[in-house]
């Protein structure tokens, strides 16, 4: 489960980094910001996994991470641009410019919701197992 938490939180932070880069027109015009997202995602997943080796993070960490990343992205772009920019950089990174924004947005939302549900359910299961062992 530690891998999944690292994978999930890494994706949120990587998106925040990519959106920050995309917000700078100079960078946006010269660099494929999709590469920044996918590259950061890979690096942050590994770093987060290593960093939580000794002490695993709880549900609160992932929920806070999600809320902060959404709030930051909203502050940076506003609602209308948020419906376009994350989807745009995701498809740019995989060189699939014909995928519709609406489809990518649905995948992003599904990933965020299902991801956090998996983390919450897994956490509840772990707590139950822990209780069972201590009784």
Q: Which of 20, 21, 39, 58 binds other proteins (CB under 8 A)?
A: 39
Residues 40, 2: contact at Cβ < 8 Å? Answer: no
CA distances (Å), 49 to each of 38, 65, 94, 99, 120, in order? 17, 15, 25, 31, 18
* Position 29 contacts other proteins (CB under 8 A): yes
Q: How far is the CB of 56 from other proteins (least distance, A)?
A: 13
Going by the DSSP 8-state scheme, the letter that residue 24 receives in this structure is S
Identify the residue among 51, 100, 127, 128 touching other proteins (CB under 8 A).
100
Q: Is 99 left (phi over 0), alpha (psi -120 to 50) or beta?
A: beta
Does 132 help bind other proteins (rule: CB under 8 A)? no
Residue with tokens 């599904």: 110
Task: For residue 135, count other CB atoms closer than 10 A to its CB.
Answer: 5
Q: Considering only residues 54, 98, 131, 133, which one is a binding residue for other proteins as defined by CB under 8 A?
A: 98
Site string for other proteins, 6-25 (x = CB under 8 A): -x--------------x--x
13, 73, 85, 123: residue in contact with other proteins (rule CB under 8 A) = 85
Task: Say how many residues touch other proteins, by CB under 8 A.
Answer: 32
Q: Are 97 and 103 in contact (CB under 8 A)?
A: no
Question: Binding segment for other proteins among 50-58, 60-68, 87-95, 127-135 (CB under 8 A)?
Answer: 87-95
Contact between 86 and other proteins (CB under 8 A)? no
């Amino acid at each position: 489960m530690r891998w999944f938490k690292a994978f999930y939180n890494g994706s949120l932070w990587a998106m925040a980094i990519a959106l920050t880069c995309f917000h700078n027109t100079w960078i946006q015009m010269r660099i494929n910001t999709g590469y920044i997202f996918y590259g950061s995602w890979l690096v942050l997943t590994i770093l987060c996994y290593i960093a939580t080796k000794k002490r695993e993070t709880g549900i609160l960490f992932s929920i806070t991470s999600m809320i902060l990343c959404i709030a930051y992205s909203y502050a940076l772009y506003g609602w209308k641009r948020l419906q376009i920019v994350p989807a745009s950089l995701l498809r740019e990174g995989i060189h699939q410019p014909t995928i519709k924004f609406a489809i990518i947005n649905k995948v992003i939302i599904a990933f965020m919701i299902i991801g956090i549900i998996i983390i919450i359910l897994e956490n509840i299961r772990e707590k139950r197992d822990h209780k069972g062992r201590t009784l």
